[in-house]
Amino acid sequence: MRTVSVTGLGMTQFGKHQTTLKALALEAGREALLDAGRPRVDAIFVGNFLGGRLAGQEILGSILAKELGLGAIAAAKMEGACASGGIAFRQAYQMIAAGIYDTVLVIGVEKMSHEPASVVNQALNAAMDNDSNEAVTGLTFAGFFGAVANRYMYEYGAGREHLAMVALKNREYAMHNPKAQYRKETSLEEIMQARPVTEPLGLFHCSPITDGAAAVVLAAGDHGVRVIASGQASGPPLMQDIPDLLTISAIRESARQAYEQAGVGPDEIDVVELHDCFAMTEILAIEDLGFFEKGTGWKAIEKGLTKHGGKVPVNTSGGLLSRGHPIGATGVSQIVQVVSQLRGNAVNQVEGARIGLAQNLGGTGAYSVVHIFEGKGT
């Protein structure tokens, strides 16, 4: 397996855009290619979830190859709900590591804000198994994490305030990120009194509806930030099939593969971007990624261990909660932030960050992808 590095980064503002799905993807893709020195690209992989349903657009790979003047290269879209971007990145990594391609462009993109929230929420249910009793029962994607939160608080003694602390931490980080969707100062009180979405989760505990795109260029060799591991696993899409509701097994397994491949453990990770689709998800993820024992994640949040000055800063970009969650773009934008940290020019820079981890989740733990990166030291 060859060495693979990230040589180019690109990202649009995350938020509500009046422009199109194609325009967003092109903006990020162009920026990444220019950042990489406009190399010849052998393939393009696109991460996108609802382009067909919400924007009436498929064939994104081919469209973007043409619009970016990349030639008659291979193109494909990868989908894994909210893990689409991370999965597209992993495909590129694997193809280069295996010696099949030398340079690959990965673009993640989503355009969601142009439809009413009720339409978007209905579309999001495509991340569940709709040929099941659960679908006709009215369980939503957010509802699943609400049920997880209620059981977690019941079993481990966490309180609603811990969910709010996650949202507050990520908002505080986003306030310094010019590309983040939500940068307005808030408080625990405002978060806890916000409109309920699915009990116990309110507006601030849920990732928003966002438009945006992010892109990276990967290349064989050592001329960038090295990708030192890639892990992926699946999990049960149905809530009733999950053996332990308070463990996301796909995160555990994808992380296990990545740590083994990289030859590092959680203690050696300097900075993390993980998938906080809901505040509860971040609490589970820091446990299932091995940073804290099962059932103690809420205490770690309370003690400030997941921000600067703690054990490991998590979601320095603002996370999905405040940076935004344009679904297909998210996994790629996490990687943009981690690589920026390792380049030494990130927002909310972690001093001396040398090893970073990005974890991207799809659906109710149906997919998880973990990548570990090594910089040259800042």
Partner 1 sequence: MLSCDACKKAFIPPKYVCPHCYRTELREITVSGAGKIYSYTTIYIPPETFADQAPYSVILVELDEGPRVTGRLEAGEPVMERRVELQRIEDGVYWFA
Interface with partner 1 (CB under 8 A): 117-119, 121-122, 124-125, 131-134, 136-140, 142-144, 146-151, 154, 195-200, 238-241, 245
Show the CA angle centred on residue 266, arms to residues 307 and 172, nearest 5°.
15
Closer of 356 and 365 to partner 1 (Cβ): 365
Closer of 87 and 149 to partner 1 (Cβ): 149
CB of 355: closest distance to partner 1 in angstroms?
36
The token duo for 279 is 């505040």
Q: What are the C-alpha distances in Å from 229 to residues 52, 159, 223, 225, 337?
A: 31, 35, 17, 12, 17
Contact residues for 327 (Cβ-Cβ < 8 A; gap 6+)? 48, 49, 50, 81, 82, 84, 110, 112
Residue that the structure tokens 């619009």 belong to: 67
Closer of 54 and 219 to partner 1 (Cβ): 54
CB of 81: closest distance to partner 1 in angstroms?
15
Inter-residue contact 95 to 220 (CB < 8 Å): no
CB of 279: closest distance to partner 1 in angstroms?
14
Closer of 155 and 302 to partner 1 (Cβ): 155
Is there a catalytic annotation at residue 82? yes
Among 17, 275, 325, 371, the active-site one is: 325
State the DSSP code for 241.
G
The token duo for 96 is 């280069």
Closer of 202 and 324 to partner 1 (Cβ): 202
Q: Angle formed by the axes of helices 141-156 and 279-288, to 10°?
A: 60
CB of 281: closest distance to partner 1 in angstroms?
14
Is there a catalytic annotation at residue 277? no
Among 82, 205, 275, 371, the active-site one is: 82
Alpha-carbon distance 264 to 152, whole Å?
29
CB of 183: closest distance to partner 1 in angstroms?
24
Q: Determine how β-strand 43-47 pairs with β-strand 103-110.
A: parallel
Query: Which residues form the catalytic set?
Result: 82, 325
